[in-house]
Amino acid sequence: MSRPAKLIIYTNSFKNNIRVLKRYTNSAKVWACVKAGAYGHGIESAVNGLEEAEGLAVLEVSEAFFARSLGWNKPILLLEGVFSRNELDEASALNLELVIHNEEQLAWYLEKKKTVQGVWIKINSGMNRLGFSDGQNNELIKSSIEKIRNQYLKSSDIKWMTHFSSGGCKNSCEDQIKTFRSTANKLGYKKGEKVSFSNSEAVICNPNFSKDWVRPGILLYGAPSSLNPNEKVRSFLEEVIPCQSLQSKLITKFRVKKGAKIGYGGTYSAVEEMTVGVAAIGYADGYPRGISEGTCCLVLGKACKVIGVVSMDLIHIDLTPCPEAVPGDVVECWGKDLPILDVAKSSNRLCYELFTGITSRVSREIV
């Protein structure tokens, strides 16, 4: 029997979530962000489940290649552009759109003279991470962008983007848009060229900023970007469905006496005689070691506390609420019936971290 820790991916949840999100976009087209292996869910599940998106946004050329090999024929965007000049050959062959966010990438593009499907100029409007800023060799950059517009695009339009640092804050977004427009105009923006501002939180909280394209990420997977989502995001989460369930099984069950120590360091002492189960999952699988006392998993649909220290391969479970459980019964660590946000809060880690932290030794099952 193979080790029972597995991650179940629900294709129909993706389909539901993209349809729900599209009701919030003001008819903007959707770049569905599937970087980091679709936030740990797998590119193949995203290609099948997010078919109603107008495009996929990835980080690496290898992700784009995989999506194309799976039959995705619609646009694909490289969110950080290419990481070397030679990647432009692959980007062109795969018919990709790409972001240019610095002068080195501009130089590579002009040197290679490759034609791609589209170019997005990224503006640093206040996040101070990636993008062109005002005063940064404006005339040289403007001239380079104009050369790309006239010579190396399959369409004549340059496209423009920025990234909100606080998508749920209207004032912050407005300030960034002002900076974006000022800088873009100095770098040669032409009226009517496409723009993209909004990430997940902005789509839901500030729909007026959803212009030509939006770039939702984690909400498509049924989870929020923060540990304390605002009212609008909480309302949206009631409409979407988690896209994954992290599960394992009980592999043993036993009784311990009052005062018995549980796990490494004996950090947990049984307050009374109790039934304890052990499940085959641990921090080497991606289950967080630093969970707080009282964190629950589900056994036969009942909330049972994880007790003691999470070890590399195993967790201890207080089976008092579910004494009928036996080895072989399914344990859900998070999923459709136990929100990943609960575990994220108890471990002080973002849902992003939990999604992308599931390791390769956990088997995947797409349903």
Pick the CATH number of 244-366 from 3.40.1000.10, 3.90.180.10, 2.40.37.10, 3.40.50.720: 2.40.37.10
Task: Tell me phi and psi for residue 27, to 5 degrees.
Answer: 70, 10
* pLDDT given at position 299: 98
Give the end-to-end CA distance of the chain in Å, rounded to a whole number. 21
Q: Buried (b) or exposed (e) across 345-358, using 16+ Cβ within 10 A?
A: bbbebbbbebbbeb
* pLDDT given at position 116: 84
Q: How open is the CA angle 282-285-286, to the nearest 5 degrees?
A: 90
Tokens of 175: 């300030």
* pLDDT given at position 48: 95
Number of residues in the chain: 367
- In the three-class reduction of DSSP (H, G, I as helix; E, B as strand; rest coil), residue 198 is classed as coil
Residues involved in catalysis: 35, 264
Q: How open is the CA angle 99-102-103, to the nearest 5 degrees?
A: 120
Spatial separation of the C-alpha atoms in residues 2 and 105, rounded to whole Å: 47
Q: Under CATH, to which class is 11-237 assigned?
A: alpha beta
Are the CB atoms for 287 and 333 separated by under 8 Å?
Answer: yes
What average pLDDT values come out for the chain (367 residues) when binned by 10 residues?
Answer: 92 98 96 98 96 98 98 98 96 95 95 88 97 91 92 78 97 98 96 96 96 98 98 98 98 97 96 97 98 96 98 98 98 98 98 98 96
Are the CB atoms for 158 and 128 separated by under 8 Å?
Answer: no
Spatial separation of the C-alpha atoms in residues 203 and 173, rounded to whole Å: 12
Tell me the whole-structure pTM to 2 decimals.
Answer: 0.95
Tokens of 363: 């088997």
Which residues on adjacent β-strands are paired with residue 30? 214
Q: Could you give the residue range(s) of every CATH 3.20.20.10 domain in the chain?
A: 11-237
* pLDDT given at position 155: 65
